[in-house]
């Protein structure tokens, strides 16, 4: 078990190494859609690449989720075969979001031997999510509600 300070050092080293291995600007929060973002996640058991739709406006969250869900066969057939869809994902805070993600288990942020596998997983899947998003961005954002 690592102390909080040791864990922070390892996390920082992990992200620096990932950025060095795959030096590019990721889309992440720059989707031009409020509360719609791409994220990387890693802990001591799994790694995930995900789309979080976190709009406080339930109708808006539903629209974006259903837009992507309507493209599910394309997303799974051409980009990420094992993607998971969850319309109502409950965060520990109690907040409900919509989440679309892919996951790799059997790895750990705290096991440097698994870092190359995590880096490859992150790169391949985030790149696929971004290509999918850019290809269908006009359709996904078509019902944007201006606030």
Contact 17, 119 (CB under 8 A): yes
The whole-model pTM stands at: 0.91
Cα–Cα distance for residue pair 54/99, rounded to 1 Å? 9
β partners of residue 43: none
Cα–Cα distance for residue pair 101/138, rounded to 1 Å? 21
117-137: pLDDT as tens digits: 999 999 999 999 999 999 999
40-87: pLDDT as tens digits: 999 999 999 999 999 988 999 999 999 999 999 999 999 999 999 999
């Amino acid at each position: 078990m690592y102390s909080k300070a040791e864990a922070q050092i390892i996390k920082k080293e992990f992200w620096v190494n990932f950025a060095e291995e795959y030096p590019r600007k990721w889309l992440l929060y720059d989707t031009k859609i409020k509360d719609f973002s791409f994220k990387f996640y890693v802990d001591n058991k799994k790694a995930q690449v995900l789309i979080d739709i976190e709009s406080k406006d339930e109708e808006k969250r539903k629209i974006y989720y259903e837009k992507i869900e309507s493209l599910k066969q394309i997303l799974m057939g051409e980009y990420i075969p094992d993607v998971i869809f969850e319309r109502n994902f409950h965060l520990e805070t109690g907040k409900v979001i919509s989440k679309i993600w892919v996951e790799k288990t059997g790895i750990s942020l705290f096991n440097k031997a698994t870092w190359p596998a995590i880096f490859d997983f992150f790169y391949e899947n985030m790149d696929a999510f971004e290509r999918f998003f850019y290809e269908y961005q006009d359709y996904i954002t078509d019902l944007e509600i201006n606030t």
